[in-house]
Amino acid sequence: MTIDDVITKSAVTMGTLIAVAGVTFMLLPVSLLYPALIVSGLVGFVTVLLVSFRRVVNPALVLAYSAIEGVFIGAFSLLFEMMYPGIVTQAVLGTFVAAGVTLAAYKYFRIRVTNKFRKMVLMSTMAFAGVMLVNFVLSLFNINLGLRDIGPEAGMLAIAASALGVVLAVFNLIMDFDYIEQGIAMRAPASESWRGAFGLTVTMVWLYTELLRILSYFRR
Tens of pLDDT, residues 152-194: 988 999 999 999 999 999 999 999 999 999 999 999 999 999 9
Closest CA to 103 of 212, 15, 204: 204
Neighbours of 46 (CB within 10 A): 12
Q: Is the dihedral of CA 147, 150, 155, 157 positive or negative?
A: positive
Distance CA 173, CA 196 (A): 11
Neighbours of 37 (CB within 10 A): 18
**All residues at 6 or more sequence positions from 57 whose CB lies less than 8 Å from its CB, including other chains:** 51, 191, 192, 194, 195, 198
Distance CA 81, CA 94 (A): 15
- C-beta of residue 149 within 8 angstroms of C-beta of residue 135: no
- 6 CA to centre of own chain: 18
- For residue 80, the model assigns a pLDDT of 97
Regions of the chain where pLDDT drops below 50: none
Distance CA 163, CA 174 (A): 17
- For residue 210, the model assigns a pLDDT of 97
DSSP assignment, residue 109? T
Closest CA to 196 of 169, 178, 211: 178
What ranges do the domains of the chain cover? 3-217
Give start and end residues of each alpha helix (H) in the chain.
3-27, 33-52, 59-83, 87-108, 115-139, 156-185, 192-217
pTM of the predicted protein model: 0.94
